[in-house]
Amino acid sequence: VAPWFDRAAETMPVAERRRLQGHRLHQLVERLAGASPFWRDRLAGVELDRVRTVDDLGRLPFTTKDDLRAHYPYGGWAMPREAAVRIHASSGTSGQPTIVGYTRADVRLFAELNARALVCAGATPADVVHVAYGYGLFTGGLGLHYGSELLGATTVPASGGNSTLQLRLLVDLGADVLACTPSFAMLLAERAAAEGITGLRLRHGVFGAEPWSESMRTKLEQAYSSLTGRPFTARDIYGLSEVIGPGVAMECVAGPGALHVFDDHFVPEIVDPLTGSPAQPGDAGELVLTTLTKQAMPVVRYRTGDVTRLVDGPCPCGRTHQRIGRFEGRVDDMLIVRGVNVFPAAIEQELLADPDLGAGYALVLDRRETLTRLEVRCELADPARTPDPRPVEDRVTRRLASALRVGVTVRCQPPGSLPRTETGKARRVFVRVDDTDPLAP
């Protein structure tokens, strides 16, 4: 069975792909400059002849979700509405949705990218692929659906909800691959275990549309392995409707921990979310994407709001696409400590990896002086094992200083002594402005 869907594109030598990207980028800006009032306006003043390689992306302006919202519904497109054969919409968490359009070629590209992603995750044309992402304006269901059909797999358009029916179909139709959100996958696994359901034969999960952690991967892989009695791999699929939908980037079976960006179609950049300047190589920052080949609604340097970093070096699978790390959070969660951008998820990762620490932690931004200081409060896993917490604090301080590149203070407390959030998203960040400890009971 072929380990890729499109070998030439996925294993193209890096230098050759760079030439292809430069060529496509130049064609894109030439096309956009005359495409619509929106694009004429945005590219006014750009010397199009000097946009020849991906290194010239910095000459182009960013595009934000607000830019697209301001031109609702069709104003941000590069073609007349009549050119589109399909519409999707982004979930409008803050009111106005964003309407995205696809020409026939865009629909075909969308399917190809999802076929690539499915193969990355381990799917083959002989498989039954159960798609439990929502079908509709949301891109998840139809994206994976047409990708699976193009791959040649037997595609089950289950859509979301109704876990009883979903479990029955998964067993009766013999699904090999499950595509849905990681939280729904976990719910299905828990119900299957609780109801003693047997006969599942799932081997691979294609999980996305919400951020999920390495510990969630471990839980999902263990849950499905114990249900099926065989190995199960959970892999992360990334995309956003403003760019195309799922299939922008995908983790492969061989190299978990980073996602291949299908960069013959989407060029990734990582920028400092405050200044917009390129992040230092390997540093975390905001993912910015440019679509090279989309027709109806291309985006140039689209600010995704998602935080990740570039991952260099070859992947064992043989794909040569630029990789990015698993997502570390949203730009909205970013803290600024002594002028350095700090992402809470990066702190959590270091804390949860320390065997002497429990899962509870809190971050205190100390603003009593001009330069904000960060105090990390964590809970000891077992005070009997570490009666003197200072060696633990010293070790965690060093690890955090090297991971975050800014000095922090670490204080360990007894288990259960930090505040717990009963409902909703856990509150982790507290601000200190006077001598009152915001975490005092």
Interacting residue ranges for Zn ion, rule: CB under 5 A: 252, 255, 315, 317, 319
Q: Tell me the closest approach of the beta carbon of residue 221 to Zn ion, in angstroms.
A: 17
Q: What CA–CA distances, in Å, run from 22 to 8, 40, 43, 55, 117? A: 18, 21, 17, 9, 24
Among residues 101 and 255, whose Cβ is nearest to Zn ion? 255
Distance CA 284, CA 429 (A): 20
Q: Tell me the closest approach of the beta carbon of residue 37 to Zn ion, in angstroms.
A: 42
Q: Tell me the closest approach of the beta carbon of residue 121 to Zn ion, in angstroms.
A: 11
DSSP structure string for 369-403: SSS-EEEEEEEES-TTT-SS-HHHHHHHHHHHHHH
Q: Tell me the closest approach of the beta carbon of residue 214 to Zn ion, in angstroms.
A: 17
Burial 325-348 (b: 16+ CB within 10 A, else e): bbbbbbbeebbebeeebbbbbbbb
Distance CA 120, CA 250 (A): 7
Distance CA 311, CA 131 (A): 29
Among residues 5 and 302, whose Cβ is nearest to Zn ion? 5
Q: Tell me the closest approach of the beta carbon of residue 10 to Zn ion, in angstroms.
A: 9
Among residues 202 and 252, whose Cβ is nearest to Zn ion? 252
Q: Tell me the closest approach of the beta carbon of residue 116 to Zn ion, in angstroms.
A: 11
Among residues 122 and 141, whose Cβ is nearest to Zn ion? 122
Among residues 237 and 408, whose Cβ is nearest to Zn ion? 237
Among residues 315 and 346, whose Cβ is nearest to Zn ion? 315
Count other Cβ atoms within 10 Å, centred on residue 201. Answer: 14
- Evaluate the omega torsion of the peptide bond into residue 268 and state whether it is cis, within 30 degrees of 0: no
Among residues 159 and 322, whose Cβ is nearest to Zn ion? 322
CB 81 within 8 A of CB 100: no
Q: Tell me the closest approach of the beta carbon of residue 151 to Zn ion, in angstroms.
A: 17
Distance CA 285, CA 339 (A): 14
Residue 174 is encoded by which pair of tokens? 């013999």
Q: Tell me the closest approach of the beta carbon of residue 223 to Zn ion, in angstroms.
A: 24
Distance CA 182, CA 212 (A): 7
Q: Which residues pair with 271 in a beta bridge?
A: 278, 286
Among residues 294 and 321, whose Cβ is nearest to Zn ion? 321
Q: Say if strands 177-180 and 204-208 run parallel, antiparallel, or are unpaired.
A: parallel
